[in-house]
Copies of this chain bind each other. A is one copy, B any other.
């Protein structure tokens, strides 16, 4: 098995150099990496074809689609790196400055986190995207992708390393782990001597396994059982538009709606309209007994349905007697990602915003806006569903920490 300690050690050394790297050098290296991805597209496609051929018979068409690269996807990876270059370099940014009565001047400045590990599944695009964000924020990254995409990942990694090295920065700022065994992932999770943060990107099972087994700090990302609550007296046209958008604009993503909660005062008029609009898009409705009494075609929802992230054409529907009941239902089943209320009442909007325990809480808008680009962060490494360190869309700042720099002229403590 690969000695991950060696990889960790090299990453830590690279991180120390990266922390000192100038903005201009990092930018040049990123632009050159983007250029190299285009130049060497043929090499990437050739390795990717081998991956796809080897995986074809044992993975689902959806996974095969995620695995397979084409010219457009590689161009997207290059453009992604170019977009990151446009973002302000967070390293060394002055966050606070204050002078103490004894004359000590204390500055709080942003610093890179150090070494970031990414554990991901079949999409080789993540290799370039994650590298770009970690690199621009002055970190070294260790990438442990899935076995299906290993040839593609290694080739992309080689191209990125060449570009970094050509600009006098450490090639080990990006390392792709060739060993895709279960053991290599487990070992990465225990590498807390060298790794400062681990970000799992993938399904709920992968994330749970990393949280359970890791001694390295972890950020949980991307599981979204997102709710839309339609309040009594809500604008029904708006409600229909938002629900259809949140549920169907893209079904397989974490910020898509999975559950509708509706006030019983609004249900008789609203539900049939909402049902028809969803039905047209091929979405199946599973509801409580009040829902099935109003909508003949609706199936009965089980308790389990309210906890599910379908990522497909099903929605659960729950009717409630009050805002309180809506909030308590949502807080029970939320994955702390994105939740929305459709209402005309400012008071109810304020209570919903304050009391719902989620990264992003919306009033009269679609949950689909939870996204680094939509928030104006330029890019994101994931959507954090935990409260620790970073919450919601994670841009460059989420990949940094800070230090206190204190200047004195001989102060001692009395």
| Residues on the B chain within 8 Å of A71, using CB | none
Please tell me the size bucket of the interface on A.
35 or more
- Contact indicator B401/A114 (Cβ below 8 Å): no
List which A357-385 residues lie within 8 A (CB) of chain B. Answer: 357-366, 368-369, 374-376
A98 CA to B369 CA, complexed, in Å:
14
With A192-B211, A249-B412 as contacts: A407 and B360 at CB distance below 8 Å: no
- Contact indicator A387/B401 (Cβ below 8 Å): yes
List which A324-375 residues lie within 8 A (CB) of chain B. Answer: 331, 349, 353-355, 357-366, 368-369, 374-375
Q: Which of A24-32, A121-129, A237-245, A288-296 contacts B (4 or more CB under 8 A)?
A: A237-245
Q: Mark A26-47, 1 if CB is under 8 A from B, else 0.
A: 0000000000000000000000
Q: Mark A241-264, 1 if CB is under 8 A from B, else 0.
A: 110111001000000000000000
| Overall SS of chain A's interface | mixed
Asked whether any CB of chain B lies closer than 8 Å to the CB of A196, the reply is yes
29 contacting pairs across A/B (C-beta < 8 A): A16-B357, A20-B354, A20-B355, A100-B376, A104-B369, A113-B387, A113-B388, A196-B388, A217-B386, A241-B412, A245-B412, A245-B413, A359-B403, A360-B403, A360-B406, A361-B405, A362-B407, A364-B411, A365-B411, A365-B412, A366-B413, A368-B412, A368-B413, A369-B413, A387-B401, A388-B401, A391-B401, A391-B402, A391-B403
